[in-house]
């Protein structure tokens, strides 16, 4: 995962991570919301969303000790995939071109695309060890 650190840091620092929306409206008012729907920034590609989701699952897996017990600390909230998109999300500049949604990019003017300072696409494939 080390090779991806700079991209994850850029997404975290620039506001490029998914937002959450509680499923509270789907539950009774007496039942606390426990699940959250993932809301993807409009400019971020689905490929990056899938890439980040794998890292979320790896992080969750690493929260358990070899004996199956949970390590110390609060568990992350349950985030469910959805088709929800944050249309007002501000894009981060200087990311690899495959971090941007192709349809969103095609809706921009040439000047707006230049302002993004697109970097060459990167391979977002996770290693076999990470996927185990």
118-130 confidence digits (pLDDT tens): 999 999 987 766 6
Domain-embedded: residue 68: yes
Domain span at residue 36? 2-122
Contact 114, 59 (CB under 8 A): no
CA distance 125 to 71: 28
pTM (2 d.p.):
0.74
At 123 the pLDDT is: 92
* Residue 34 reports pLDDT greater than 90: no
Helix (H) or strand (E) holding 78: strand 78-80
> Measuring CA to CA, how many Å separate 54 from each of 42, 47, 93, 110?
20, 11, 23, 33
Tokens representing residue 29 in the block: 């008012």
Residue 35, Cβ neighbours under 10 Å: how many?
15
- Structural domain count, the chain: 1
Domain-embedded: residue 132: no
- Where does the pLDDT of residue 75 fall: very low under 50, low under 70, confident under 90, or very high at 90 and above? low
């Amino acid at each position: 995962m080390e090779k991806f650190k700079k991209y994850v840091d850029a997404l975290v620092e620039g506001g490029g991570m998914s937002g959450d929306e509680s499923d509270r409206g789907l539950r009774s008012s007496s039942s606390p919301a426990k699940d959250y729907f993932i809301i993807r920034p409009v400019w971020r590609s689905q490929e990056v969303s899938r890439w980040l989701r794998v890292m979320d699952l790896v992080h969750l897996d690493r929260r358990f000790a070899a004996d199956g017990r949970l390590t110390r600390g609060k568990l992350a909230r349950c985030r469910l995939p959805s088709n929800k998109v944050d249309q007002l999300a501000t894009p981060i500049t200087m990311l690899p071109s495959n971090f941007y949604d192709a349809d969103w990019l095609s809706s921009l003017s040439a000047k707006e695309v230049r302002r993004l300072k697109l970097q060459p696409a990167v391979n977002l494939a996770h290693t076999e060890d990470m996927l185990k």
